[in-house]
Structure 1
């Protein structure tokens, strides 16, 4: 999820409240329980990278509402299963109205599953690769959404590393959104109670 897709206001409130998602129970749960919380493990990181790629050009809530269908269509984002998808699976996915039917993104997700497995066979890990780009020191808590970047030098470096490992649809903006989603950076606004819960400082 990019900063622009979440931003409801540029003015910080006087009292703490969730910095996005208010009014939609699904979005509220995502804000409170997932976004900015640490995510580790190749399958979990593969899912976030895939969903962020599908979100490109769309609102995050669209992807969030379709996530159960995505998980069903992509075998729970198990890289070992998705890596074996062939042309019949591509056709099945492009016929599935429950997901975002974009051939380039579907094919990139399958290719990325194969890249995740190939990285593991070389003794690496896409999860470790992501977390190796944790900013040090951590950036200060943003006060408004205007303070939240859409990409950073760190996300550009991560995108370059992911592409070198064979992954597609992982430009600096998508890489930064994955860093936010997986808690590598915590971009909850300074006033937001979720900053205390997310566990990344």
Structure 2
């Protein structure tokens, strides 16, 4: 059975729950709610296992905080014996407008400390990432406040549909392959 490691990036704690930086966590939480699986606190992360269409999904929400996300990714990649080509990392991206997404088979961290740490610990940039657009509507010097801030009222209204679409991309990547997912969902 094909196994996939799906990693949603975010920060633990109620103060971060609905922040833009936790978009990766939100997608996994939405999938869990829709498909009836639950997360448990395990080593370095909240994890969940789920089977769908003959594939095994291993979901990870690192508890290491964003900048050390690679520790959890590397640990569960080895623990579950999952090849790097079956890893999907979901991360917020301020360079994409809210509501847009982009899947890429590899790439640079682009200033994202969570991705940078994963790159360093896996010793490669050749893992798939799903970039979740959060926009960049912030004043000079206010990037941290924006990224760690809550979604706007308007965005909160659109968020459920956006999370559903992102969940569809995760399932498409694992069941239909990266090319199908990129062709059908990249904007």
TM-score (norm 1): 0.28
Which has the larger share of helix?
1
Larger Rg: 1
The higher relative CO (CA closer than 8 Å, separation ≥ 6) is in: 1
Structure having the larger proportion of residues in strand: 2
TM-score (norm 2): 0.29
